[in-house]
Amino acid sequence: MRNGLFPLLCAVCLGLLFSPSLSRAQHTTFDLESALRFALKHNPSLRISERDVATEKYGIDAAKSERMPKVDFGSGATRYRYPTPLTPLVLPSALTLAALQSLEVPDFERTIYDAGASFRLPLYRGGRITANIRVAEMRKALAQDNYRVSEQDLIYNVTSVYHKILQLQKLLAASKASVTQLESHYRDVESFLKAGTAPRLDLLKTEVDLAHAKDNLLVVRNNLDSAFELLKNLMGMEDAGTTIAVVEPELSAATCPSEEESMNIALAKRPDYRGVAKKKAITEGRIRIAQGRWFPDVYGSGQYIKRAGEETSFHEDWFFGLRLSIPVFDGGLIRSEVEKEQTELEKVRQEERLVRLNISREVKDARLSVVNTSDRIKVAEKAIESARETVRVEHLKFGAGSGTTTEVIDAQTALLRAESDYYQALYDREIALASLRKAMGEYPPNIERNENERGGSASFAGGGGAEPQ
């Protein structure tokens, strides 16, 4: 029995060792470019915007289908109170006795069965069909611009969180170093206390500051874990067991273009500004659609049908013709719709102006942030050098008995603050550059894709000589 139980235990252990639940934890390392590409592929909000583009494509197909003839098949059974002719009674042009004698009388039935097909072909609708197609094309182009807005927002958010993680990692390392130095200082104070050269108050003060430094270290570690979770959320990673790490990128040496150049690039590339222009074109098209209802509708129609009764076989009948419908009086409905769309056009024009003002503000703010963070980096570098030298001197003074614990702790706190300011300024500059790219409507290097991959954009040009429908 023991010989049979040992292989079974080995199999169970191996199964537990290699089971999916235990091997699910994975460690993946991303640089900024791979993180952005992963997010662009898996972020659910971006996939929703992508589906919006696909949805508008079917709107174009539906608008184009209005040009095509509509063919319907129908059948039914009807019970009448009185016998009803299956086919119309056809009278001769001259009501002579011979003609009346040869008159063919149709069959009369109370229950009539019918089956047949009918069609309707629009020939002229005041340009509404063409305008509807153009509006549908512009709606798809607008959805593509909205997709690019979501895409650039995602790129900016991932870039910001990525650099925030790098900043927190540097701050975590600085906090650990601060705790290590305070622990070393605590041991020195404890030795001096035993030797009778330091008061117990110095030990208590060092102990309080050490506890505060450890608490700050815990806060930084928790913030770092939270930032990693936010990055995973933005990247669309669903596996809770996956842990990720980030790679320190090369810091950008890019400089800001001039304000005028930045504004020109932004007005040419910003998808939300281009989207407002498309919204204006859509509203203009809807005005033409509403005005087209003042024009007559011309369409061809026809029907082929067969009827039969309970006692008779099927008899065929058909017709085709041309119909004209002219609006004469509608209680002001068409005029109200035209004025409504014209008011909407004025609203879109003001929206275009608002977006242009917002773009100007965003570009200026982003440029100022880049300049400001560059200056902060220079100041923080000098502050770190000074703080490190101060810490070294204060430790030497304390070791020689001429310094105090308060001076050592204050110097250590100043160094941690200087390092924190430096790393924040360093990565704030990267975030400011990302904000400037977003404000200008540009993509990071190696991320911008071919225009055809994003679906291109439809134009709202004239009909090119096509007959208006």
pLDDT in tens, the chain (469 residues): 444 444 444 444 444 444 444 344 466 899 999 999 999 999 999 999 999 999 999 999 999 999 999 999 999 999 999 998 888 877 666 666 666 666 677 888 899 999 999 999 999 998 999 999 999 999 999 999 999 999 999 999 999 999 999 989 988 988 898 888 888 878 888 887 887 777 888 788 888 888 998 999 999 999 999 999 999 999 998 876 788 899 888 777 767 888 899 999 999 999 999 999 999 999 999 999 999 999 999 999 999 999 998 888 888 889 999 999 999 998 899 999 999 999 999 999 999 999 999 999 999 999 999 999 989 989 998 998 998 888 888 888 877 777 777 788 888 888 888 888 888 898 999 899 999 999 999 988 777 654 434 443 333 233 333 444 6
Hey, CA dihedral for 445, 451, 453, 457, is it positive or negative? Answer: positive
Q: Which domains does the chain have, with CATH numbers?
A: 26-76+131-294+332-454 (1.20.1600.10)
Q: Do 409 and 212 meet the contact criterion of CB atoms below 8 Å apart?
A: no
First to last CA, the chain: 90
pLDDT at position 101: 63
SS3 192: helix
Q: What is the residue whose two structure tokens read 């608002």?
A: 354
Q: Do 159 and 225 meet the contact criterion of CB atoms below 8 Å apart?
A: no
Q: Do 132 and 66 meet the contact criterion of CB atoms below 8 Å apart?
A: yes
Give me the DSSP letters along 270-300. -HHHHHHHHHHHHHHHHHHHHHHTTSPEEEE
Q: Do 204 and 409 meet the contact criterion of CB atoms below 8 Å apart?
A: no
SS3 29: strand
Q: pTM (2 decimals)? A: 0.79
Considering just the CA atoms, what is the radius of gyration of the chain in Å?
Answer: 40
Q: Do 257 and 442 meet the contact criterion of CB atoms below 8 Å apart?
A: no
pLDDT at position 330: 87
Q: Do 305 and 318 meet the contact criterion of CB atoms below 8 Å apart?
A: yes
pLDDT at position 24: 46
Structure tokens of 349? 């024009």
pLDDT at position 358: 95
Report how far residue 243's alpha carbon sits from residue 29's, in angstroms, rounded to the nearest whole number. Answer: 9
Of 172, 367, 163, 120, the C-alpha closest to 249 is 163
pLDDT at position 290: 93
Instruction: For residue 371, give every residue at least 6 positions away whose Cβ sits within 8 Å of its Cβ, in sequence order, or none.
Output: 256
pLDDT at position 468: 46
Report how far residue 171's alpha carbon sits from residue 217's, in angstroms, rounded to the nearest whole number. Answer: 9
Hey, CA dihedral for 328, 330, 332, 335, is it positive or negative? Answer: negative
